[in-house]
Structure 1
Amino acid sequence: MSGKEPGQFTFSEIYAQAHTASQTLARSCERSRMLASLGPLSQFDQILFTGCGSSYNLGRCAVWAWSSLLNKRVCALPAAELAHFPENYLSGQGKPLLFAISRTGGTAETVLAVETLHERFNAATVALTTEADRELPQVCHLSIDFSECKEQSLVMTQAFTCMLYSLYLLADSFSGAAWASQLANIPSAIGESLMRNEPVVRALGEDLSLSRFIFLGSGPFRGLAMEAALKMTEMAYETAQTYYTLEFRHGPKAALGPESIVIIYPVEAERRYLKVLIDEIAQTGARSLVIADRPVDVDCEQLNFNSGLGDLFLPALFAHIGQQLAFWRACARGVDPDAPRYLVHTVKLDGS
């Protein structure tokens, strides 16, 4: 017997994020120099992010800052999709840059995507991983090591936050560093939120009258909503669904009831429509929780941060909320979030 308490690793990794993110910030200049070694980003006609599961969701979040700040074509794709159907997403007319994300560095589909783009599109490839001695760094042109957020738990938490934060810092660095001072405040803002919002998030997670969790997010928050739903599924084995925010009104709301909670990450462009959405949710007997940087004029529970960051960067600040919620839900259900059933650290295509 190891004597380890259930959830010990996941708890420490979630609640250490302010510290690990500060280490990520300290390594940002070093990582900018590493990426610059590939040459100017202007040589690449397209930038792609790929990964599986949480790593793919991370890419979905990063895309918005990279496309907006660098004014380039940027997309995120699941690694298997990119490996098997690359011609549907790449023009073949120029040289693409691929960021391949894998916490463990050995995800089979991600390695396959890199090899496919090398062979068929002459892509430049960058591995983002916490384990620099695995397969993915070996097949990429450049490897950026995130040893500061290496995890023992099966479920990705602090590594998601730190890798995403680093990608924001890189995008800002290569576009003039206009957001540098605001981005530097993210670690301390995470630390404050982990403590301040703990009572609300824990109470929701421990409320066993809730049995359906829906996460809504559009634009820069789409990947974040997907990630929050995945955390709830992985850690707590709960029914968790995710939709684009306003798309939820077109059919999915029919499944709501008193056992449901709808968690909304509102993008600035859709704030004007939140009242009607939340009123419709309330009519079903379901609850709503809004997670936003500044308060929204709606009648429901809210978590606000007042960081002054724009929508492009807020997913790195908000990610821990979904992680906390899933952790406390798992504990309330008697599930060990460190070791979810059927899951393994590294997924292989041969099933090993």
Structure 2
Amino acid sequence: MNTPVLTPPQGAGAEHTVAEIAQQPALWREVGRIVAGQRTALDAFLAPVLAAEDLRVVLTGAGTSGFAGDVLRTALARHLGRRVDAVHTTDIVADPRGCFAEDVPTLLVSFARSGDSPESTAATALADGCLSRTHHLVITCNAEGALARAHGGQSASHVLLMPAASNDQGFAMTSSFTCMLLAALLALGPSSARSAVGALADAAERITTGALDAPVEKLLAREPERLVYLGSGPLRGLAGESALKLLELTGGRVVAHADSTLGFRHGPKAILDDRTAVIVFVSEDAYTRQYDLDIVAELRAALPDGAVVAVSARPDGLPEDGVWLVPVPAGTEDAAFALPAVVCAQLVALGASLARGVRPDNPFPSGEVNRVVRGVNVHPYPGN
């Protein structure tokens, strides 16, 4: 690759994907304004729901949308002092009674780019059918989607619409993912998140304007056949989304795997060979960070030079080389750090796709995998 990652050759089939990665800093600032403008209505809707001491918050979505919940789960649990679970809609639809075994007051937070995937509306309907008290916070990028239309104007629902430009037209979710993740953090997370939007957008802007182009190109020049993403806590969810992005944009030509920092040693480490690269998202939590530093050191000793990359907000405890710094303010929580950090993974996926001659906007031209999932038969559930 001899050109910046976000300026591929004309005709490469990457127009939408490139624009949607690059627009994220501006869209995050817009999301901040949207949530601030709805603060009074959001608080009026959420306050009585969150007051229930036995409340269960369920973060749900499919694929990338589901990973938004995985990133946010522990951060929101700590802030809200309530049980928070991330349960993908695909699990809810297949096993609703298992996912909603306890009939407790539940806030279902649904993430959906289009809102037209069959599981999106099915999951909310199944929650209503299985539970006595359900409220819905719908975070979606498509005002005309089935999910937004089903919940608009409902007293037990609040629909939080993302900027229209976040309804990505490229195959893979990029700006839709980060906008919805940020919106949920602003709506349900600590007030400190509201003042951090500008700094997070600034950090992402540095990445999208070339700060990491050379390191990304250096990693991709190795032509890895397998790429592993690792992270702990919220960054475990980020690892999952990062691996999915690579798998999608390369049309499956690069084997992508994600795991937790500690879990990787328990069998999945078998994926490693001399054509494997590893990217470790390093936690900002002082305790958790120790485990991330351990795995970085261990893998650097086992793999060829340049095969292991640490993505971190600061260099403390890390080697001088192989570190991609994401310039967020000191003390940024991992769920917020995930926003600019995922841009690194998006650039890796885009670059790997282009290097293999895949068209990122449509990696599956024969239609075996679709932008909006097709072919799902939602079967009637007894009692609903």
TM-score (norm 1): 0.91
- Say whether the 8 Å CA contact 1:83–1:114 is kept in structure 2: no
C-alpha deviations, 1:61-107, integer Å up to 9, x for none? Answer: 12222111111111111102123334434454432010111101111
Amino acid at match of 2:357: G
- Give the structure 1 partner of residue 381 of structure 2: none
Paired residue for 1:71, among 81, 102, 124?
Answer: 81
Paired residue for 1:60, among 61, 65, 70?
Answer: 70
Paired residue for 1:312, among 323, 335, 340?
Answer: 335
- Give the structure 2 partner of residue 200 of structure 1: 215
- Give the structure 2 partner of residue 302 of structure 1: 323
For the residues of structure 2 that align with 1:37 and 1:348, how far apart are their CA atoms? 37
- Say whether the 8 Å CA contact 2:296–2:310 is kept in structure 1: no
- Say whether the 8 Å CA contact 1:125–1:142 is kept in structure 2: yes
Paired residue for 1:24, among 28, 31, 52?
Answer: 31
Per the TM alignment, residue 166 of structure 1 is displaced from its structure 2 partner at its CA by 1.3
- Give the structure 2 partner of residue 156 of structure 1: 173
- Give the structure 2 partner of residue 229 of structure 1: 243
Identify unmatched segments of 5+ residues in structure 1.
none
**Alignment: residue pair count:** 346
Paired residue for 1:94, among 94, 104, 112?
Answer: 104
For the residues of structure 1 that align with 2:226 and 2:12, how far apart are their CA atoms? 27
C-alpha deviations, 1:306-351, integer Å up to 9, x for none? Answer: 4221223211121111111000110000000100212222213447
The alignment status of 1:292 with 2:312, answered yes or no, reads: yes
Q: Secondary structure, in 3 states, of the residue corresponding to 2:192?
A: coil
Amino acid at match of 1:192: R
**Aligned pairs (5 A) from 1:226-265:** 226-236=240-250, 237=252, 238-265=254-281
Q: Secondary structure, in 3 states, of the residue corresponding to 2:335?
A: coil
Amino acid at match of 1:110: S
Identity over aligned residues, as a percent?
A: 24
Relative to 1, partners in 2 of residues 1:179 and 1:350: Cα closer, same or farther, differing over 3 Å? closer
Per the TM alignment, residue 143 of structure 1 is displaced from its structure 2 partner at its CA by 1.7
Per the TM alignment, residue 212 of structure 1 is displaced from its structure 2 partner at its CA by 1.0
Relative to 1, partners in 2 of residues 1:306 and 1:131: Cα closer, same or farther, differing over 3 Å? closer
Per the TM alignment, residue 148 of structure 1 is displaced from its structure 2 partner at its CA by 4.0
CA RMSD of superposed structures (Å): 2.2
- Give the structure 2 partner of residue 7 of structure 1: 14
Relative to 1, partners in 2 of residues 1:326 and 1:87: Cα closer, same or farther, differing over 3 Å? same
Amino acid at match of 2:370: V
For the residues of structure 2 that align with 1:273 and 1:223, how far apart are their CA atoms? 16
Paired residue for 1:104, among 107, 114, 118?
Answer: 114
- Say whether the 8 Å CA contact 1:202–1:324 is kept in structure 2: no
Per the TM alignment, residue 230 of structure 1 is displaced from its structure 2 partner at its CA by 0.2
Amino acid at match of 2:149: Q
The alignment status of 1:220 with 2:243, answered yes or no, reads: no
TM-score (norm 2): 0.84
Per the TM alignment, residue 135 of structure 1 is displaced from its structure 2 partner at its CA by 1.1
C-alpha deviations, 1:160-211, integer Å up to 9, x for none? Answer: 1111111111123xx5x23432343211121012221122123323x25311
Relative to 1, partners in 2 of residues 1:275 and 1:79: Cα closer, same or farther, differing over 3 Å? closer
For the residues of structure 2 that align with 1:274 and 1:9, how far apart are their CA atoms? 34
- Give the structure 2 partner of residue 211 of structure 1: 225
Q: Secondary structure, in 3 states, of the residue corresponding to 2:58?
A: strand
Identify unmatched segments of 5+ residues in structure 2.
1-9, 152-156, 379-384
